[in-house]
Structure 1
Amino acid sequence: MSLTLYQHPLASFCHKVLIALYENGTAFESHLVDLGDPDARAGFCELWPLGKMPVLHDHARGRTVPETTVVIEYLQQHYPGARPLLPHDQDECLDVRLWDRFFDLYVQAPVQKIVIDRIRPPASRDPHGVAEARATLATAYDMLEPRLGERRWACGEDFSLADCAAAPALFYAGIVAPFPPGHTHLAAYFERLVARPSVQRTLAEARPYFSMFPFVDAMPERFLRGGAP
């Protein structure tokens, strides 16, 4: 097996790459990283000292590839499948990259801030930072609502890198900060995402670990029990 993905099934950024791999049926070996285990953490940090998941290692090419967007672009360049996740047109490609960054920076990052704050000791919590994160999410939801009323996927009629980023970002965001009732286009887009087979597979693999999620008490029952979304 040429490709090994170092990842954890609960991690949202790992979901992004898994969705891309499953979209094209790309063969890979999954290596689960338990950062809570000192030996596992040390071994992973030998591969990528920053200790951030996921990381792709390509044994055939002797390359270690970190960072989700770079991993997905690397896969398209060297292991292309039937469904390109970045368009060939350069202007369209810029749009996909923009919205990929949008979901990572303005949805995923605020969610991580909120989640990490919940597991901190009370004396170390950052209510101001959490309030800022929730405000960023509210702005992101407001920006997405009109955009998603005009297109099926984040950047048009084709599922792309931006949607790979959107699926886990919105999955966890919708738990910690539910979509406002009037954001019907955003809610409909999320339902299209979770109905996608690649997303369903990713969530099914994460399900045994959902009990570890700090906001599991707010997770919709349909995701906890499995079956159709």
Structure 2
Amino acid sequence: MLELHGHLFSSYTWKALIPLYANGTPFTFVPMEDGKPLHQQFCGRVHPGGHIPVLVDDGKVIVEATTIVEHLAVHHPGPAPLIPADPAAAVAARMIDRVFDNYVMGNMQRVVSAHFISRDRPEMGLREEPIAEEVAAGKKRLNQAYDWLETWLGENTLPPHTSLVTCAAAPSLFYADWVEPIGPARPRLGSLRAELLALPPVKRCVDDARPYRPYFPLGAPDRD
């Protein structure tokens, strides 16, 4: 009944996988076809931006990872409180979801994309040298997001796992720390990353993605 189309190394695919794993929701994972450009694949045809992941629920196509989490919360609820029941808490969760997606994940991907010949066609290969200005700008903005989150975490409480925030924060912090380490100066954010990586649904995503680490253009660190 449920199909999730994506790639096991994709941060946004993780975002959709985490709630499925957390709630034990039956689904079929449909991986991308190796060697075939994304725009020629199912997700490229049905997503308005040609992106992954895409959820198919009884024939209905759901695009965008955040919307997939929201859809699962409504149509396939389980023990994991994906969206807080309190409206004010739900607003806060959605705000932090956007912060992780736009300013942590987004700037991490900005640095990674600087290594590709074409941002939209990564299958075209890597540059001999990354675009230095993009790398510097992405890391600067990433550090800005880290500092904001470190302060926010000291003043607020996150919803219990597994929530929309978990789904956004886990892949964002996992990969962002590879690009620009969070460091000891941000103990709350560093602790959150460690806490998230210990969660069974997140650990499953990390382990399933291990075979693809050699493809990380900056070189995957020998940890995690």
TM-score, normalization: structure 1?
0.86
Q: Residue 5 of structure 1 aligns to which amino acid in structure 2? A: L
Aligned residue in 1 for 2:104:
107
Identify if the C-alpha distance between structure 1 residues 128 and 41 changes in structure 2 by more than 3 Å, giving closer, same or farther.
same
* Deviation at residue 128 of structure 1 after TM alignment: 2.4
Q: 2:129 matched to 1:128?
A: no
Query: How many residues in Structure 1 have an aligned counterpart in Structure 2?
Result: 216
Q: Residue 187 of structure 1 aligns to which amino acid in structure 2? A: G
Aligned residue in 1 for 2:7:
8
Aligned residue in 2 for 1:75:
72
Paired with 1:39 and 1:222, the residues of 2 have a C-alpha distance of 29
Paired with 1:159 and 1:45, the residues of 2 have a C-alpha distance of 29
Aligned residue in 2 for 1:20:
19
* Deviation at residue 48 of structure 1 after TM alignment: 2.6
Tell which deviates more after alignment, 96-105 or 140-149. 140-149
CA RMSD in angstroms, aligned pairs only: 2.1
Does the 8 Å CA contact 1:34/1:41 hold for their aligned counterparts? no
Q: Residue 7 of structure 1 aligns to which amino acid in structure 2? A: G
Q: Tell me, what secondary structure is at the counterpart of 2:109?
A: helix
TM-score, normalization: structure 2?
0.88
Identify if the C-alpha distance between structure 1 residues 189 and 30 changes in structure 2 by more than 3 Å, giving closer, same or farther.
same
Paired with 2:129 and 2:17, the residues of 1 have a C-alpha distance of 33
Give the % identical residues: 37
* Deviation at residue 46 of structure 1 after TM alignment: 3.0
The unaligned stretches of length 5 or more in structure 1 are 224-229
* Deviation at residue 49 of structure 1 after TM alignment: 4.8
Q: Residue 113 of structure 2 aligns to which amino acid in structure 1? A: I
Paired with 2:160 and 2:73, the residues of 1 have a C-alpha distance of 19
Q: Tell me, what secondary structure is at the counterpart of 1:119?
A: coil
Listed as ranges, the matches of 1:44-59 within 5 Å are 44-59=43-58
Does the 8 Å CA contact 1:34/1:40 hold for their aligned counterparts? no
Does the 8 Å CA contact 1:9/1:205 hold for their aligned counterparts? yes
